[in-house]
Amino acid sequence: MIKNKGSGLEIFVSELYKDLGYRDVKIDHRVKKTNGEESANGQIDVTYKDPILRKYVECKYRSHSNVTFDDYSKFETTLKTFNIPTYLGEMVTNRYFDEKVKLRAKEANIRLIDRDELQRLEQLRKSGWRLAIISFRFFETLNTDGIGNAMKYVGTRLLSMDQQIRNYMR
């Protein structure tokens, strides 16, 4: 069964953030706002704490094209609708952002993580003391889910970023 392509990026980002040491990483965070009898519901792809503030992440998987202003503006609107300060927002893509997106995100103080930055974070995951976190997560997975899943966890980390994202789509 193939999940939607975006879910592969969402899982990749959540696992990457866990391996980088961020706390309380969650996928598919639901938000709700009530005003009298009216209410609105929304969804944020990934949330995490860094180090004490909760951050809100929108993931945009693209096969070929860049993330457009329309994609970006929906995320900024979601943040504002649910009273989330824009400086707590991040937008992540496996490709790049249109110039208009970069300009508006800078004005709104929303962090953009494009393919180059995502690959830099992936290299950071595999370096230095972060390997200790990966080792810890390996043993944690071993204790809770068995040797097969622990080996799968390590094997996935050896793949390239694009291979990991594709792997999570399955």
pLDDT digits (tens, 9 = 90+) for 41-77: 889 999 999 888 999 999 999 999 999 999 999 999 9
Residue 144 belongs to what domain range? 5-168
Q: Residue 129: which CATH number?
A: 3.40.1350.10
Mean pLDDT of the chain: 90
Residue with tokens 């979601």: 78
Return the closest-CA partner of residue 60 out of 10, 125, 107.
10
Predicted local confidence at residue 1, as pLDDT: 38
What is the count of structural domains for the chain? 1
What tens digit of pLDDT does each residue of 99-158 get? 999 999 999 999 999 999 999 999 988 887 667 777 888 888 989 999 988 888 888 888
* DSSP string of the chain, one letter each residue: ----HHHHHHHHHHHHHHHTT-EEEEEEEEEEEEETTEEEEEEEEEEEESSSSEEEEEEE--SSSPBPHHHHHHHHHHHHHTT--GGGEEEEESS-B-HHHHHHHHHHT-EEE-HHHHHHHHHHHTSTTHHHHHHHHHHHHHHHH-HHHHHHHHHHHTS-HHHHHHHHT-
Q: What is the pLDDT of residue 2?
A: 43
Per-residue pLDDT, 97: 98
